[in-house]
Structure 1
């Protein structure tokens, strides 16, 4: 249930993508598992900065990285590190990984398609679509507010510490339970008045999708987004703790009482605890295809697509009450707007234990980026390599 998306975006900031297929020409050093392998056709000018950004893996912060650059200046694929630290297998750049909260963009796309078809109304309420789901004392909450994180719903009450999460890594969670564990508490704020990034709203959206279509959320994502966008290696994990096909393995650094750390393999993990907010498995190539199709209006019809590039005019939720900590909202309906230097980028980050990822692009798609980093502390502080990747992709 990671809120790291906003932390990743706020650090140096923004996770991103778009592009197409990348063709031959591989250059690598004598130790390919530990330095960047590169594939390119017409090489963009920021490729060398990106190569330096991802070199030197595995390190204490990350075991592997896969990056794709795209846009008007060319395309480039770089990899570094070890996809599996036991075998020292180097990543090729087409390995699957856990997408985390990037799943929310897919969920938003499905909902906005249903809005376009008249099956869901943006001003329709949770109480209308899912009567009895929320406590009677809650105010009416609109679909639009779920989409842009302004619903005011409290987050699900799950312990955040790694030991508890790891002990429950094979638990299959009921989708309604994800909501019921949250709504026993008071609303955080009046709907529409603040923005608070969390998973709860998107899991409610998953339930609405199932209610209005009469089909599973997973099937709707597959038939409405994954198949039409030509995504070959993306799927909803559901209750399967494994990652199907070739993939990078994820690791979490765990400290012992004596201060030393060991890496725990966290690849096998039931993602039902995130469901419609974070259970997808994908590849960097598929995220390029998806974001390219999305930005061009081939996933969400253009009238509704505007919402994915519109940030609500509210402040971010500030539970401290200190006005000095007030910040403007940055999330749209399914994406995030971020300024990297003077460059405005729209994209989405996501992470699960062992995996930190992002995709995004400028509105004209002149610069695009997709990355997946196998962070050894994906729920902690964002590792420097992520900021370096973002800076190389969208900096000067």
Structure 2
């Protein structure tokens, strides 16, 4: 799993106990605002734009070619960009540019499923086998819909065929069913509900669930339920289109040659391998609008929204059985605490783009960023993304 701001900086807090079913209860004093979060907000330092500008200076460099940032408080907001949109032309990156948001897509997918749960079209406590009969092997145990969304399903990940080269993989158009077939050739990783393992296959199945119960393509449901109502006109789901449409900074991957490092343009590529787990294209401003509306209960009804702010009380699964700490992920998001401050949000990456969106629960501080990392899918988070997050929340 890709390291995130939370995994590098913070110890994650468990906010509720997983007991095999999913029943949300709003906070007693202020629905949607936990007491611990409210206390954390009081310790937030003032927004320091001078430090943020310093963090963004010096691009392009060997680690990133550009960066885009939105940061906001209840009274102020700031958007900035640094670096170049194209290393050949040296055209400057624009703060309103689009980028591939990667796994931040999961927040949208979880929101749609929770809307369907609020409409009583989907039951989080029913097995996914009820909705998608025959997709999982018969020997697999029941896997609840809610366990997909918070990564406690125990389902294995796809293992790619050895014959696929990098270029073929980049442009191959996968179907969700193909991904499921590749995944389910492997055994279950653990008994559902007993561990957490962050994997895309959970959200591939969530996308198939959305399609099954609505009768519409996944992309249509996200568009009609979230993008259109919120006016997210710079956000779209590319489907089979490998291009990025509109203003954007190109994404690059550093490639080690015999005597030098070259930057390969990886802007184009099929997003079908991630599909409902990672295909969306957006902007920092649109993601801020989405995150703000989501946290306010304007996207998902507040009872169901509590699932997105609830982390199961289970350990993280590790292949070798080593202690990997406690769960950090909720349904669609993650919770991070450092220096008494609590943040919710999500990171996401696609080749050439490393991104994040985080906020305090009551939206006193928000940040959305995209870094045109030269190794976005590498084992470590781009240092610039880490620095942006720290500067936004005043972490020294």
Q: Which TM-score band (shorter chain)? A: 0.7 to 0.9
Q: 1:176-200 CA deviation, whole Å, 9 max, x = no partner?
A: 1111110111000000000000100
| Alignment length (residue pairs) | 360
1:12 maps to 2:9: yes
**What is the match of residue 41 of structure 2?**
none
User: Quick check: 1:287 aligned with 2:283?
Assistant: no
2:273 equivalent in structure 1: 273
What is the root-mean-square deviation of aligned Cα atoms in Å? Answer: 1.7
Q: Residues 13 and 387 of structure 1 are in contact (CA less than 8 Å); yes or no, is this contact kept in structure 2?
A: no
Q: Decide whether the 8 Å contact of 1:12 with 1:390 is kept in 2.
A: no
| Gaps in structure 1 of 5+ consecutive residues | 15-43
Q: Distance in 1 between matches of 2:141 and 2:306?
A: 27
Aligned to 1:304: 304
* Residue 215 (1) aligns with residue 216 (2): yes
Q: Is the 8 A contact 2:311 2:327 kept in 1?
A: yes
Q: Is the 8 A contact 1:343 1:395 kept in 2?
A: no
Give deviations 1:158-216, integer Å, cap 9, x for gaps.
3799x933332121111111111101110000000000001000000100100000000
For residues 56 and 244 of structure 2, the distance between their equivalents in structure 1, rounded to whole angstroms, comes to 24
Point out the more displaced range, 347-356 or 167-176: 167-176
CA drift at 1:13: 6.1
Assess if the C-alpha contact under 8 Å between 2:6 and 2:335 holds in 1. Answer: no
Q: What secondary structure sits across from 1:346 in the alignment?
A: strand
Q: Contact conserved, 1:155 with 1:199, CA < 8 A, in 2? A: yes
Displacement of 1:73 in angstroms is 5.2
1:343/1:152 CA distance change after superposition, 3 Å: same
The equivalences for 1:1-396 within 5 A come to: 3-4=1-2, 6-12=3-9, 45-72=47-74, 74-158=76-160, 164-258=165-259, 260-322=260-322, 325-380=323-378, 381-396=380-395
CA deviation profile, 1:267-304 (whole Å, cap 9, x unmatched): 01010111000000000010010001000000001010
Q: TM-score, normalised by structure 2?
A: 0.88
Q: Tell me how far apart the structure 2 counterparts of residues 328 and 137 of structure 1 sit (CA, whole Å).
A: 28
CA distance in 1: counterparts of 2:272 and 2:6, whole angstroms: 25
- Equivalent pair of 1:242/1:268 in contact (CA under 8 Å): yes
Larger mean CA deviation between 197-206 and 223-232 belongs to: 223-232
SS in 1 for 2:248: coil
CA distance in 2, matches of 1:389, 1:137: 46
CA drift at 1:45: 3.0
The separation in 2 between residues aligned to 1:160 and 1:9, in whole angstroms, is 33
Tell me, yes or no, if the aligned pair for 1:72 and 1:366 is still in contact at 8 Å. yes
What is the CA–CA distance in structure 2 between the aligned matches of 1:147 and 1:106, rounded to whole Å? 11
In structure 2, what is the Cα distance between the partners aligned to 1:180 and 1:46?
49
| Residues 284 and 372, structure 1, Cα contact 8 Å, conserved in 2 | yes
Q: Is the 8 A contact 1:341 1:395 kept in 2?
A: no
Q: Which runs of 4+ in 1 moved over 6 A?
A: none
* Counterpart-to-counterpart distance in 2, 1:65 and 1:333: 28
Cα pair distance change 1:247/1:160, threshold 3 Å: farther
Equivalent-residue separation in structure 2 for 1:11 and 1:318 (angstroms)? 18
CA distance in 2, matches of 1:94, 1:83: 12
| CA deviations over 1:221-276 (Å, ceiling 9, x no partner) | 00011111111111111110001111110000000133x21000000101011100
